[in-house]
């Protein structure tokens, strides 16, 4: 092989060095810069030095650009959320390779010829090139490294990307048939089932970079498991840039060729590869004999048409994107979930649990009782108030904390003088509320995003119990402090005045009666007794009427206190838990939109396969 390469290298190289020398000699005489001339030559400049204008991008290329941009944004938005590093690494590779390919010549189409040992791929390679380039023979393996043949200039960058050295780059024989393949870069690969590991590495590396692949099979090993399971099946989405050639049909009887081709199509269909039949997009399947030339012309014509379309690179990158999107689907899509959001029911339940944790209802009842006690003190009889004062003086001071606790309905806010069991229960209520709302928000989300939502809720709830403690102390206990008096209604002064009048009647009647008893006044028992009876009966009646009138304002005052405490607890919960969770769900909706843009082209082939 080395001798053959030495004999043909000067004749069949890609013309890069010789052409650059000619350009340099010509520009030296004209006084131009060598580098500028070389750039003009590589960019397709004409003899007058002007660049050939590049055609506008096709709709497929524009759609591909949108999908690539969406994939970049998708990776940026989800890099800290997705724990599957392998998937993101694969996506990064697709982006890097797409950027590298789009930065190289769009006028060339790189097609690899791959096959198993003895399939005749090197013979087919030489037949298409019209010259003996790749060594053939019975010795296995024959092809040790990729060999490239370019039908036009300007493919050096593509071959550098494939890491094919200059000594393995060739040019075809210049014939009329070669003009139809202008822009084609054909690469002969080592055997994909070679016993040498380095050969298989060459195959895997180049197959990941070329624009299209011609798979060469023979009648004996067209159903080989290595070919189908390791290569064809994983690349089923690349059907539009796939050719499957049944070589050595000259070894089969005439009536057996169609049978073998039909069986080959059946195997490809089982691999999930769409077949390009009846003008539908998909893989091309044909039979030929590289040795006798039967069917080679048809393949050359198909490759020429395929190359002139100049869309293979775009279709290959799109197929890579489809494959990456399919792998990413479990990370971004949960079937049957209409859309991530925190429902009204989950929000209401979360706020109810927080209100229960801070004792909002008990605080409202305590505020209502405090309002009624204040009304009783103002509108009650002085003798009853004196008795209550006496009873309060007799009560032990050590019971004041328990009385305050009883005033709140038997439970207190977290962090106050509350039994340990009550505090633990309140904290448990907060934790349960956070878990419940996080589970409701994460319901139906893909696992990575569901986990991210739960972690966001847990992080936001780290200081939530302490914040609720402060709210409970600030608002919840204020209503139970004796020195804090609730607001008074408009009828309050009239009730106080009426109670004072009843008291004055009792005093005046008592003094009048006392004067008659001691003989200071003339005896007349009925008037003072009636006055005293009116005061004695009127005082409790005024107090009773005031208690009835105080029920509505007291209830409203208690409800207002409960509402303020509930709103404060709900606001704290929203700021620390609900809003961060909502922001995380908004980020997920953004990545869902980006993923939909990435996967937009993937439905075409999947529909075709079905």
376 vs 450, higher pLDDT: 450
CATH number at residue 228: 3.40.50.300
On whether the CB atoms of residues 466 and 569 are closer than 8 A, the answer is no
Of the chain, the end-to-end C-alpha distance in Å amounts to 46
The answer on 62 and 29 residing in a single domain is no
On whether both 175 and 275 belong to a single domain, the answer is yes
Give the total residue count for the chain.
Answer: 610
- Percent of the chain whose predicted confidence (pLDDT) is above 70: 77
Maximum average pLDDT range among 19-33, 130-144, 169-183 = 169-183
Tens of pLDDT, residue by residue over 35-83, are 333 333 333 333 333 344 456 677 888 888 988 998 888 888 777 776 5
pLDDT over 90 at 147, yes or no:
yes
Q: ∠ at Cα 288 (191, 303), nearest 5°? A: 80
Which whole number is the average pLDDT over 280-294?
92
* Residue 219 belongs to a domain: yes
Which one, of 111, 123, 117, lies nearest residue 289 by Cα? 123
pLDDT at 491 over 50: yes
Residues 386 and 487 both lie in one domain: yes
Half-sphere exposure of 187 (CA within 13 A, CB side): 32
**Domain identity same for 79 and 196:** no
Is 257 in the same domain as 348? no
184 in the same domain as 247: yes
Of 52-56, 341-345, 429-433, 439-443, which gets the smallest average pLDDT?
Answer: 52-56
**Does the pLDDT value for residue 476 go beyond 60?**
no
Residues of the domain holding 580? 344-609
Of 15-29, 128-142, 208-222, 382-396, highest mean pLDDT:
208-222
Residue 600 in any domain: the answer is yes
The 184-188 sheet, strands edge to edge: 169-170, 147-150, 184-188, 109-115, 212-217, 242-246, 284-287
Query: Residue 11 falls within a domain, yes or no?
Result: yes
82 compared with 188, residue with greater pLDDT = 188
User: Average pLDDT of 279-294?
Assistant: 91
Q: Distance between CA 399 and CA 420 in Å, rounded?
A: 18
190 shares its domain with 283: yes
pLDDT band at 149 (very low <50, low <70, confident <90, very high): very high
53 found inside a domain: no
3-state secondary structure of 597: helix
Q: Quick: pLDDT tens for 518-564.
A: 877 777 878 878 887 887 777 778 777 777 777 777 788 888 888 88
pTM of the model: 0.67
Instruction: Tell whether 325 and 436 lie within a shared domain.
Output: no
Higher pLDDT, 397 or 284: 284
Instruction: Examine the domain organization and report whether 366 and 385 are in the same domain.
Output: yes
Whole-angstrom Cα distance, residue 524 to residue 531? 12
Alpha-carbon gap, residue 88 to 86, rounded angstroms: 6
Is residue 241 located within the same domain as residue 198? yes
Count: domains in the chain: 4
Same domain, residue pair 357 and 456: yes
- In this prediction, residue 380 carries a pLDDT of 67
Between residues 249 and 42, the one the model is more confident about: 249
Q: Is residue 48 part of a domain?
A: no
175 lies in the same domain as 99: no
């Amino acid at each position: 092989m080395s001798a053959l390469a030495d004999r043909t290298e000067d004749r069949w190289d890609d013309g890069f060095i010789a052409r650059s020398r000619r350009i340099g000699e010509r520009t030296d005489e004209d006084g131009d810069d060598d580098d500028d001339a070389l750039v003009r030559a590589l960019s397709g400049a004409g003899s007058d030095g002007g660049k050939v204008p590049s055609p506008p991008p096709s709709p497929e290329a524009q759609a591909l650009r949108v999908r690539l941009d969406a994939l970049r944004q998708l990776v940026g938005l989800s890099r800290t959320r997705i724990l599957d590093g392998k998937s993101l690494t694969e996506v990064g590779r697709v982006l890097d390779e797409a950027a590298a390919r789009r930065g190289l010549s769009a006028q060339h189409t790189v097609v690899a010829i791959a096959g198993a040992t003895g399939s005749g791929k090197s013979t087919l390679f030489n037949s298409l090139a019209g010259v003996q380039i790749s060594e053939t023979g019975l010795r296995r393996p024959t092809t040790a490294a990729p060999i490239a043949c370019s039908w036009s200039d300007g493919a050096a960058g593509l071959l550098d990307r494939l890491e094919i050295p200059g000594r393995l780059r060739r040019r075809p024989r210049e014939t009329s048939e070669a003009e139809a393949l202008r822009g084609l870069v054909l690469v002969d690969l080592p055997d994909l089932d070679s016993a040498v590991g380095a050969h298989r590495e060459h195959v895997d590396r180049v197959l990941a970079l070329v624009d299209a692949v011609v798979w060469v099979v023979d009648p004996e090993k067209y159903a080989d498991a290595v070919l189908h399971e390791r290569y064809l099946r994983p690349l089923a989405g690349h059907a539009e840039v796939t050719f499957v050639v049944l070589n050595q049909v000259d070894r089969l009887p005439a009536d057996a060729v169609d049978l073998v081709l039909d069986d080959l199509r059946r195997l490809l269909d089982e691999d999930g590869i769409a077949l390009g039949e009846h003008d539908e997009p998909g893989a091309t399947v044909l039979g030929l004999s590289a040795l006798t030339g039967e069917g080679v012309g048809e393949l050359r014509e198909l490759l020429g048409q395929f190359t002139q379309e100049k869309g293979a690179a775009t279709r290959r990158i799109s197929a890579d994107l489809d494959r990456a999107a399919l792998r990413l689907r479990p990370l971004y899509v949960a079937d049957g979930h209409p859309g991530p959001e925190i429902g009204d029911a989950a929000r209401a339940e979360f706020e109810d649990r927080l209100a229960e944790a801070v004792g909002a209802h008990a605080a409202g009842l305590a505020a209502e009782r405090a309002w009624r006690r204040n009304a009783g003190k103002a509108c009650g009889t002085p003798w009853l108030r004196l008795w209550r004062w006496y009873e309060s003086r007799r009560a032990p001071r050590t019971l004041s904390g328990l009385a305050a606790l009883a005033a709140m309905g038997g439970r207190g806010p977290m962090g106050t003088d509350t039994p340990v069991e009550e505090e633990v229960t309140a904290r448990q209520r907060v934790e349960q509320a956070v878990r419940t709302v996080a589970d409701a928000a994460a319901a139906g989300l893909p696992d990575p995003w569901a986990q991210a939502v739960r972690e966001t809720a847990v992080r936001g709830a780290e200081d939530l119990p302490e914040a609720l403690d402060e709210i409970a102390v600030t608002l919840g206990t204020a209503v139970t402090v004796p020195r804090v008096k609730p607001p008074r209604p408009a009828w309050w002064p009239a009730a106080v005045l009426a109670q004072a009048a009843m008291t004055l009647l009792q005093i005046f009647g008592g003094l009048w009666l006392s004067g008659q008893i001691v003989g200071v006044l003339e005896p007349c028992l009925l008037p003072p007794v009636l006055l005293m009876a009116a005061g004695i009966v009127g005082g409790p009646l005024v107090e009773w009427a005031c208690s009835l009138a105080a029920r509505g304002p007291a209830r409203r005052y208690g409800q207002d206190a409960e509402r303020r405490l509930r709103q404060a607890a709900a606001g704290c919960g929203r700021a620390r838990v609900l809003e961060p969770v909502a922001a995380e769900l908004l980020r997920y909706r953004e990545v869902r939109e980006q993923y939909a843009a990435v996967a937009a082209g993937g439905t075409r082939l999947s529909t075709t396969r079905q």
